[in-house]
Chains A and B, each alone.
Chain A
Amino acid sequence: MLKENFRQLGENVLSVQASFGRAGLLLLQSIFTIPRPLKAARLLIDQIFQIGVLSLLIIGVAGMFIGMVLGLQGYTILVKFGADSALGPMIALSLLRELGPVVAALLFAGRAGSAITAEIGLMKATEQLSSMEMMAVNPVHRIVAPRFWAGVISMPLLAIIFNALGILGGYLVGVEWLGVDSGGFWSSMQANVDWYQDIFNGLIKSLIFGIVISWISVYKGYDSEPTSAGISLATTQTVVYSSLAVLGLDFILTALMFGDLH
């Protein structure tokens, strides 16, 4: 019995390792693939539309509402200390440093990541990838790489839009509705948000999240079991692993970027 457990443990460890190996190879192949630039550009733009543009609605609406909630919550707390003029920087900093990259990434994993996994998994299950191979077209170049790169490019852009709409939502609630001074709102935001420290670091975060989510999504689709049960499992795993990876990485990145600010 003990022997059997050990055997099982070893098998699991090996299979996890093998899976990381396959994922790593797929990542390398996707990154270093630049065949026929013109055709690749067309495929990439198509995927940026599918992955990025079609995620705009959920990202925009979520950004707006999160900004509005921040405005409301921030105001009720700050006004107690007579510090409602600090509402602007509070909203901007929360969004730029944390909420923007993280929430946008979580939504992106749910909206675009799951779609990528399901699409590639379905293509695999219906032998579309196999038939592509037999037509001497490498599916990693034709299918995987454009989706990976489109995800990497779209994520920071979506995070920027999320941030902008969030700040707008905070402004609407704080200034237009609750009556915070408009000049103070913007000028204190301008004074307290540092370009490199806040905006650039936030974008780096979302870029890294974009890489990780896209990588998990294409790998899970490409490596999925070619059955309907396999595809649904892979799709679930994409969302779960991506979300956990985003939250875990966010802590590490925050510690590296902002850890020395006391």
Chain B
Amino acid sequence: MQHQNTAGETTNNLIEIRDLHFKRGDRVIYKNISMDIPRGKITVIMGPSGTGKTTLLRLIGGQLRPQSGTVIVDGDNIPTLSTDKLFQVRKKMGMLFQSGALFSTLSVFENVAFPLREHTHLSNEIIRNIVLMKLQAVGLRGARDLMPSELSGGMARRVALARAIALDPLMIMYDEPFAGQDPISMGVLVELINQLNKTLGLTSIIVSHDVQEAISIADQIFIIADGTVIAAGSPDEVLKDPTATVQQFMKGLPDGPVPFHYPAPDYEKDLMGELHA
């Protein structure tokens, strides 16, 4: 039941965001944003740093509440849910944090076992089997007895990935999974995300600004800037999008609609000290 619902386009979306407004203090992060995230696909959300891409994941996960708008995840409108219901819905979500966010006092094995011990009444033997299967899937079955402090950044993310899929969620949200990785672990992560998505029938949402990796993996790309979606579509469509901001971002140009300079008063006047006179 978890994907490929053939009833039509609209029911095939796992997540539907409509007219979302979100402010943090006085700063507007999102104004009137809408997007659909289809089941079983890999959706990449891109955009310049500081546009609140991670915030979007937190809004979907219900850790932040928007000022207005709806975030429907598998039929539930997240912002209106009670805490209990929200926790129920979160069992269907996995989230991979940028740092991995492994529990530093627990071993790799116990980290992956954590959600199982918290939410199921399975026997230790079954939990052991599940944990080993999940660790095998990310290639770290041999690292089960290590502590998080003994892992490299890439390994920590893979363990966190194993933990995120421990409860067999419908979807996984990846927060900057490629940031700060060497080419090898980057390749490993790209491959893993791809494979998991196919074999487990997951829906993946990836927040990233690594253009190459995103293009190689995405079924669908959203580019966010200034609180709205400025481009959406398949990787090819987005690459061909004529909008100047999109081109600047995809090609990595230093100056363009996103200016090189932080807003400042006139340079000459500033140097001459006329501004304070």
Contacts and interface: CB of A to CB of B under 8 A. Distances in A.
Interface in B54-104: 61, 63, 83, 87-88, 90-91, 93-95, 97-99, 101-104
Interface residues of B, number: 24
B114 A134 contact: no
B114 A135 contact: yes
A135 B115 contact: yes
Contacts of A136: 87-88, 90-91, 115, 118-119
A228 B188 CA distance: 31
A130 B95 CA distance: 10
Contacts, number: 50
B101 A126 contact: yes
A37 B206 CA distance: 38
A134 B90 contact: yes
B104 A126 contact: yes
Contacts of A126: 99, 101, 104
A135 B90 contact: yes
Given A127-B101, A131-B95, A131-B101, A137 B63 contact: no
B95 A134 contact: yes
Interface in A126-142: 126-128, 130-138, 142
B119 A128 contact: no
Q: Size range of the interface on A?
A: 10 to 19
Contacts of A128: 101-104
A130 B103 contact: no
Contacts of B101: 126-128, 130-131
B132 to A, nearest CB: 19
Contacts of B118: 135-137, 142
Contacts of A138: 83, 87
A134 B104 contact: no
Interface in B157-188: 160, 163, 167
Interface in A109-143: 122-123, 126-128, 130-138, 142
Interface in B24-66: 61, 63
B63 A130 contact: yes
A130 B97 contact: yes
Q: Residue among A126, A128, A136 with the most chain B CB within 10 A? A: A136
A254 to B, nearest CB: 40
Contacts of B167: 135
B224 to A, nearest CB: 21
Contacts of A137: 114-115, 118
Contacts of B87: 136, 138
Interface of A: 122-123, 126-128, 130-138, 142
Interface of B: 61, 63, 83, 87-88, 90-91, 93-95, 97-99, 101-104, 114-115, 118-119, 160, 163, 167
30 contacts: A122-B104, A123-B103, A126-B101, A126-B104, A127-B97, A128-B101, A128-B104, A130-B63, A130-B97, A131-B101, A131-B160, A132-B103, A133-B61, A133-B63, A133-B90, A134-B63, A134-B93, A134-B94, A134-B95, A135-B90, A135-B163, A135-B167, A136-B87, A136-B88, A137-B114, A137-B115, A137-B118, A138-B83, A138-B87, A142-B118
